[in-house]
Structure 1
Amino acid sequence: MDSEFQGVKKCVILTGMSGAGKSTALKVLEDQGMFAIDNIPPALLSQLMVILGKHRAAVRNGVAAVVDVRGDTLLDDFPAAISALKNQIQEVSVLFLDASDRALLARFEATRRRHPLHDEGSFLDGISRERIRLKPILELSDTVLDTSGLSLPHIRKKLLSEVSGTSSQDFLIFTSFGFKYGPPADCDFLFDVRFLSNPYYVPELQNLSGQDREVQDHIWNSGEAEEFWKRLVSFLEHVIPLYLGTGKSHLHIGIGCTGGRHRSVAVAERLAAHFRPFGGMCSLRHRDISREQGW
């Protein structure tokens, strides 16, 4: 049987207080490639894992599911459902998102949302009833994440740290390309390096690429090129953490020259080598390196 379809191996159950950030957390995990589902009755979790055993993303990256007070009396099934789930798949974790009453009240007032238990009395009455209702679930939780005063980037960082054991699962994508074939449509940043010395006009380098040492030495063998490199790296080292800190799961950086075989490839290669040790995931693509380079 194809190893890609041997069942779901990881499930993260997101639960906790209304307004504590469960929807935000679910979106973060979905951006990491997990199959996401909101407001599922606990008793259906086991059946869901069986169905998703044929879903590529769920098998490869896991499932994230929100179970909360909107389930009403169906929440009574939570302890038995979690016990069954832990006997069914390899890795099950229950993450309880919480926040202070003051923080929850401020969030509801800011969004003008209605608390799910706000039938009678004040918002604080609804919050108090919810805490009582969720107490058995809180006791079964593996981790409690207090989001009081946390911004989206901080929630994201803490969540990924708890779920994956690392503070970053970001992806940096470096793509070299040729402007004569058009730039990639999905880049967050584009850098034009056509001002660098072009190895295409050096006969012994023409049939090589920016992956070859001779081409790289030719491109970087000038003070102007090295000064460009220093400024480019300084800029990216400043911008990349800020950009990824907004909650985006990846940053796509395009490097373009005329044909996409020499200069852009050399710059992308050097960037990928420079940023890989900084942590997270870094991928490198040379879109046009194999194209015919005739002019």
Structure 2
Amino acid sequence: MPAPAAPKRFLLVTGMSGAGKSTTLNTLEDLGWEVVDNLPLSLLDPLLATPLAAGAERGRSLAIGLDSRTRGFNAERVVRQVKKLAREHDQPVETLFLECQAAELLRRFSETRRRHPLAPDRPTNDGISEEREMIAPLKRWADHVIDTTDSDTNALRQQIRNHFGGEEGAPILTVQSFGFARGLPRNADLVFDMRFLQNPHWVPALRPLTGLEREVADHIAADPAYEDAVTRIEELLLALLPRYEAEGKSYVSIAFGCTGGRHRSVHVAERVAARLREAGFSPSLDHRDLATPPRDGSERS
């Protein structure tokens, strides 16, 4: 009897209750993954050893949802068991951990009127604190950590598609613009600060425009520091990305920031994404704060 085939990718999905595990698993299923949620730990081994259950006969990847509600859950035990399975089946295992700040989790549980699974008869905050301590080993071990504090359902779906919807091999790239006035992107791997460039905010005719428009682009490109600095950034990225690929990193997020996220960062993100495409990469492009109305008091530098 031939040995069972292995899934293309084997992903454990875990994290804080309320951080988006169901949305993540549903999105992976839409992407063609075989998905199993809250599987008892005792069934991990037979599942991985069964090609049909793992979806391997159909060439599918496998995602398993585990959290504090899983029967027999113990984070240290999960880590030991999965490492053992990976060795025995010669199957690389990835872990995705969904993080979220306590205040946002409290808001989500309040809005949905759900009780926290670890505190059905106690304050929700008690369950959040207990769970965070319980699953800390999984976060330390995780290959991918996505913080959903500032993400709605649609944004999380897009992040999952970016991380896990591409072809295997080269890392999946996201190039993002943002405004420092509204905070750093939580999931950025590389952040470049564009606030050293001359600011179109100070030109009344350019202030209502964005970095997508030619007049703004020309103004930014006229800065004496612009061409050398952006070219060096492009060269750095073209040197780093093959190294990330060689190390097996599956997702890279590159973020460009300016004060408001509407002018300099947008233009540079557009240029760098175009340069990466010319070099054979396929980055997705996201302008996080482009549609946010400007706030003059915080966008003057």
Scaled by the length of structure 2, the TM-score of the pair is: 0.51
Amino acid at match of 1:15: T
Asked if 1:86 corresponds to 2:86, the answer is yes
Amino acid at match of 1:166: I
Consecutive unaligned residues in structure 2, runs of 5 or more: 175-279, 284-301
Distance 1:143 1:56 in 2: 23
Distance 1:140 1:278 in 2: 29
1:8–1:89 CA contact under 8 A, matched in 2:
no
Distance 1:23 1:46 in 2: 23
Partner of residue 207, structure 1: none
1:8–1:52 CA contact under 8 A, matched in 2:
yes
Q: Give the drift of 1:39.
A: 0.5
Partner of residue 253, structure 2: none
2:48–2:54 CA contact under 8 A, matched in 1:
no
Asked if 1:166 corresponds to 2:172, the answer is yes
User: What root-mean-square deviation, in Å, do the aligned CA atoms of Structure 1 and Structure 2 show?
Assistant: 2.9
**1:84-233 mapped onto 2 (5 Å cutoff):** 84-87=84-87, 88-163=89-164, 164=166, 165-166=171-172
Partner of residue 21, structure 1: 20
Compared CA separation, residues 73 and 6, structure 1 to 2 (3 A) = closer
Compared CA separation, residues 57 and 33, structure 1 to 2 (3 A) = farther
Q: Structure 1, residues 163-189: CA drift from partner, whole Å, max 9, x if none?
A: 354369xxxxxxxxxxxxxxxxxxxxx
User: Which structure's residues are more often helix, by fraction?
Assistant: 1
Query: Which secondary structure state, in structure 1, belongs to the residue aligned with residue 28 of structure 2?
Result: helix
Asked if 1:10 corresponds to 2:9, the answer is yes
Amino acid at match of 2:51: L
Amino acid at match of 1:37: V
Q: How many residues end up aligned between the 2 structures?
A: 171
Amino acid at match of 1:113: R
Compared CA separation, residues 51 and 74, structure 1 to 2 (3 A) = same
Compared CA separation, residues 135 and 26, structure 1 to 2 (3 A) = same
Distance 1:48 1:80 in 2: 17
Partner of residue 191, structure 1: none
1:14–1:95 CA contact under 8 A, matched in 2:
yes
Distance 1:57 1:71 in 2: 24
Query: Which secondary structure state, in structure 2, belongs to the residue aligned with residue 136 of structure 1?
Result: helix
Q: Give the drift of 1:153.
A: 2.6
Distance 1:78 1:24 in 2: 22
Structure 1 stretches of at least 4 aligned residues deviating more than 6 Å after TM superposition: 277-280
Query: Which secondary structure state, in structure 2, belongs to the residue aligned with residue 93 of structure 1?
Result: strand
Query: Which secondary structure state, in structure 2, belongs to the residue aligned with residue 70 of structure 1?
Result: coil
Q: Which has the larger radius of gyration?
A: 1
Amino acid at match of 2:91: Q
Partner of residue 275, structure 2: none
Q: Structure 1, residues 138-177: CA drift from partner, whole Å, max 9, x if none?
A: 1111111100121223212222333354369xxxxxxxxx
Distance 1:97 1:57 in 2: 26
Distance 2:51 2:62 in 1: 9
Asked if 1:68 corresponds to 2:53, the answer is no
Compared CA separation, residues 9 and 89, structure 1 to 2 (3 A) = farther
Compared CA separation, residues 167 and 43, structure 1 to 2 (3 A) = farther
1:9–1:90 CA contact under 8 A, matched in 2:
no
